[in-house]
Structure 1
Amino acid sequence: MAATVDSAHWNARLAELITRYDVPGASLAFAHEGEVYTFVAGVLNKDTGTPVSTDSLFQIGSVSKVWTATQLMLLVEQGRLTLDTPVVELLPEFKVADAQVTKTVTVRHLLTHTSGIDGDLFLDSGRGDDCLEKYVAACAELTQNHPIGESFSYCNSGFVIAGRIIERLTGKTWDAALREQICAPLGLTHTWTLPEDVLRFSAATGHVEDGSPTSVWGLTRAMGPAGLICARASDVVAFGLAHLGTELLAAPGAMTEPQVRLPNPYTIAPEWGIGWILDEWSGHRVIMHAGNTIGQSAMLWVLPDTGTVVCLLANGGETSALQRTLGAELFAVLADVEMPELLGPPDTPVDVDVARHAGTYERVGCLATVSVGDDAKLHLNIRVTGALADISPEMDWDLIPVDESTFVGRREGSPLWDSMVFYELADGSRYIHMGVRATPKTA
């Protein structure tokens, strides 16, 4: 028998954990035995001290990608396209630097992050309704991160392109199509994409590493399909619940069929579906997605077997630690399901040849330098480049080997370990996979 929800406990626990992890404010909602419960703690903005309410909107970041994938799947069910339709058939003006990729990349490649298109182009193409059209035009210069279909690398650019496909097929802006396809049918009154709409509600502000509010509130409008939805936690739960039935899609299970295995299965999960991240905990299927924007974070977990849906939104601090601690406690109590531990250092040190991994690894938006120190240990320096460089701190990690190709490290002060996997494609090209992205070795 499932546990009865102790609302007083979860209210107190959320408040306790945001204090532990220096999170200014958080909003939690979960569905349990047909009821949706909501909890809040902290403030929307440290400068104003405005308290979080259950109706407050947070940026859900890349959780937006599941919404965009759902929009396209609705159009697939209408027969407007298939997952294997080449993008250029839907957007004849589309092109990237590689002419063969331009011809062959499909909608499935975009939604499963297997296109190989270098995917972190954070471009300000204006605030007009033509911003996605302008963004797609700028993709003509994007090179390949890896050969098409040969690996997995998280691709924000691919989801902006997907958003433009939605615009072409619906004749509406992505924002308007989202409201018509998803928000209106589900009655989501507190889910919006444009700042002028979000500001009609109480809205969270992100906070940077020193705890102060961000100087930039959100991403540019063009990044909408990849990560610009703002919503209250209960709206996100309603969206998750819709994927357990046929309220939106006639066959929602098509989105949760495994499409690709990740080279690094330790960061978040081993497999990806159409939009959804796929895992298994205690013998139960889990579908989920995480999101991070400028000082804000989101997590959506769905356990189809138990009907449990959890959304946690936060606006700064050690949000990953908050998600894992609170999520593990919730699933243990509500569904008797154990969340797996993150990979950490082995109990017994492993002796491996680290020198072969040294070098420079680079993709759009990121320069990673792997070197061997005087102590014969591997060291990783990560520098964000491009549009987000000014608001992204440089990171330095000492890497601890787990095996010949797998390492873990963590930034100073973080309670959580991150994993990195060095690997090689069939053509001999070498990569490091970290943060769900493949970064090729360039020197």
Structure 2
Amino acid sequence: MAGAMGQRLPELIAEYEVPGAALAYLHEGELHEFAAGTLNTATGVDSTPDSLYQIGSITKVWTATLLMLQIERGRLGLDTPVAEVLPDFKVADPEVTKTVTIRHLLTHTSGIDGDLFLDTGRGDDCVQKYVEACADLVQNHPLGVTQSYCNSGFTIAGRVLEVLAGKRWDDVLQEDIVEPLGLTHTWTLPEDVLRFRAAMGHVEGGPAPMWGLMRSAGPAGLICARPADVVAFARAHLEGGLLADPQAMWEPQVEIPNPYALGRQWGIGWILDEWDGQRVISHGGNTIGQHAMLWAVPGTGTIACVTTNGGHSGSFTRAVATELFKELDGLTVPPTLGPPETPVEVDAGRYAGVYERAGARMTVSLRDGEPWLRMEATGALADLHKPQESRLVAVDDTTFVFRSPEDPDWMSAVFYELPDGSPYVHLGARATPKTG
């Protein structure tokens, strides 16, 4: 497969219009590395195996691991209230302020509205300032009743680490993971990344208007790394080298209401799924025009990380995984959910209305009897995403799929109710309440 992937990677980046990509995988104890394309279409610099890409939210597994290390050292527990470590911590709901725990943060079950992207400066106090700004964050859903992806929660988790360790999150990362594993191409700050070849994100066919996210997003998504370093990190979760009990992070904590996108369950940091009866732990990441995916199969020991800097990046990484794991382990990556062969008749009118949370507004309406979805970004990143409208196609009574004209892959949306009857839609790993 090694030689074949060396040929297939450039073919796949051409097919999915990806400017550049890098891939590393571990199979039967041997590491393989590949790269193709360019890091920046404006400069033409080649992508190489040692190039640093933004791995985005894969960073969350690293932050979760750092907290698990603190737990193993007896500094706190998964069910320790955040306020016990951060006495000044506050969100809009006073009861959540008092009772939200580390477990809630690391499993995306806190209900804290999770897409607050706020630039609090480049100073070493940026994470502290971000957490102070969370005082006005409302609940996306009641504490612990469902799963909704929460970037804010992981920055709060990063602040917990800073207070426990008495140093910056960036330094805790270096001292507790990067240095013990001997990683040489894993950094968080632009001035360190600039010492290496570094990928530039691309949007709408050209270089993105900015290189990266604000520093306050660090614990939630600012690691830059070569794929081989990310594979080495995951290998420590399979084979040991960081945690005394890494499998504790693979224990299911919550069912994902929409299991068709990322996986079926969330563990501590990790997304959990099953392919052909084999447990799979994974995580993905998206920044401004960059995308990365990490998969590990504990039963076979195979690990793969692929990084990209634009184009149809999600479809690309799925195509790489589909070919790679079929060849290496004989595993079938579940295909993206699409429309059923036989059309399904559903009363979609009951789902019509506005669904809104921090950073996003979704409107479901009927046009000639057919449901349509309009998605709009709001907040700090609104200018980077144009509003998008798509027809919803029913798969069953609560599940619909849709896609944009530019994207070859379908996305899924699941309409459901919380135990108290509140209507929600689960899309893009997030639970969004119906507000109108």
TM-score by length of structure 1 reads: 0.98
**Percent sequence identity over aligned pairs:** 62
Task: Measure the CA separation in 2 of the matches of 1:246 and 1:296.
Answer: 30
Task: Measure the CA separation in 2 of the matches of 1:428 and 1:123.
Answer: 32
Q: Which amino acid aligns with 1:71?
A: L
Residue 395, structure 1, aligned to residue 388, structure 2? yes
Q: Which amino acid aligns with 2:202?
A: H
Tell me by how many angstroms 1:392 deviates. 1.3
User: Which residue is 2:320 aligned to?
Assistant: 326
User: Which residue is 2:10 aligned to?
Assistant: 15
User: Which residue is 2:358 aligned to?
Assistant: 364
- Per-residue CA deviations over 1:23-70 (Å, capped at 9, x if unaligned) read 000000000111110000000000000001111000000000000000
User: Which residue is 2:218 aligned to?
Assistant: 224
Task: Measure the CA separation in 2 of the matches of 1:92 and 1:36.
Answer: 45
Residue 66, structure 1, aligned to residue 64, structure 2? no
CA-atom RMSD in angstroms: 0.6
Pick from 415, 418, 423 the counterpart of residue 425 of structure 1: 418
Task: Measure the CA separation in 2 of the matches of 1:392 and 1:254.
Answer: 37
User: Which residue is 2:378 aligned to?
Assistant: 385
TM-score by length of structure 2 reads: 0.99
Pick from 150, 154, 160 the counterpart of residue 159 of structure 1: 154
Question: Where in structure 1 are there 5+ consecutive unaligned residues?
Answer: 1-5
- Per-residue CA deviations over 1:218-270 (Å, capped at 9, x if unaligned) read 00001000000000010000001010122000000000000000111111111
Pick from 399, 408, 432 the counterpart of residue 415 of structure 1: 408
Residue 97, structure 1, aligned to residue 92, structure 2? yes
Task: Measure the CA separation in 2 of the matches of 1:274 and 1:254.
Answer: 8
- Per-residue CA deviations over 1:266-312 (Å, capped at 9, x if unaligned) read 11111000000000001100000010000000000000000000000
Residue 28, structure 1, aligned to residue 23, structure 2? yes
Tell me by how many angstroms 1:393 deviates. 1.9
Task: Measure the CA separation in 2 of the matches of 1:324 and 1:83.
Answer: 33
Q: Which stretches of structure 1, 4 residues or longer, exceed 4 Å deviation after superposition?
A: none
Task: Measure the CA separation in 2 of the matches of 1:387 and 1:232.
Answer: 28
1:122-137 equivalent positions in 2, closer than 5 A: 122-137=117-132
Tell me by how many angstroms 1:7 deviates. 2.8
Tell me by how many angstroms 1:404 deviates. 1.2
Pick from 79, 82, 93 the counterpart of residue 77 of structure 2: 82
Tell me by how many angstroms 1:325 deviates. 1.0
Q: Which amino acid aligns with 1:84?
A: D
SS of 1:243 mapped into structure 2:
helix
Residue 212, structure 1, aligned to residue 206, structure 2? yes
Greater alpha carbon shift after TM alignment, 392-401 vs 296-305:
392-401
The number of aligned residues is 436
Pick from 138, 141, 147 the counterpart of residue 143 of structure 1: 138
User: Which residue is 1:38 aligned to?
Assistant: 33
Task: Measure the CA separation in 2 of the matches of 1:393 and 1:229.
Answer: 26
Tell me by how many angstroms 1:413 deviates. 2.6
Task: Measure the CA separation in 2 of the matches of 1:341 and 1:47.
Answer: 34
Task: Measure the CA separation in 1 of the matches of 2:209 and 2:336.
Answer: 32
Q: Which amino acid aligns with 1:81?
A: L
User: Which residue is 1:3 aligned to?
Assistant: none
User: Which residue is 1:304 aligned to?
Assistant: 298
User: Which residue is 1:279 aligned to?
Assistant: 273
User: Which residue is 1:120 aligned to?
Assistant: 115
Q: Which amino acid aligns with 2:159?
A: R
Pick from 188, 191, 194 the counterpart of residue 193 of structure 1: 188
Question: Where in structure 2 are there 5+ consecutive unaligned residues?
Answer: none
Task: Measure the CA separation in 1 of the matches of 2:356 and 2:251.
Answer: 31
Residue 106, structure 1, aligned to residue 106, structure 2? no
- Per-residue CA deviations over 1:103-136 (Å, capped at 9, x if unaligned) read 1000000000000000000000010000010000
- Per-residue CA deviations over 1:330-387 (Å, capped at 9, x if unaligned) read 001111111111211111101110100000000000010110002x110000000000
SS of 2:22 mapped into structure 1:
strand
Residue 437, structure 1, aligned to residue 430, structure 2? yes
SS of 1:347 mapped into structure 2:
coil
Q: Which amino acid aligns with 1:397?
A: S
User: Which residue is 1:234 aligned to?
Assistant: 228
Task: Measure the CA separation in 2 of the matches of 1:206 and 1:47.
Answer: 11
Task: Measure the CA separation in 2 of the matches of 1:101 and 1:256.
Answer: 26
Pick from 166, 183, 186 the counterpart of residue 171 of structure 1: 166
Residue 244, structure 1, aligned to residue 244, structure 2? no
Tell me by how many angstroms 1:8 deviates. 2.5
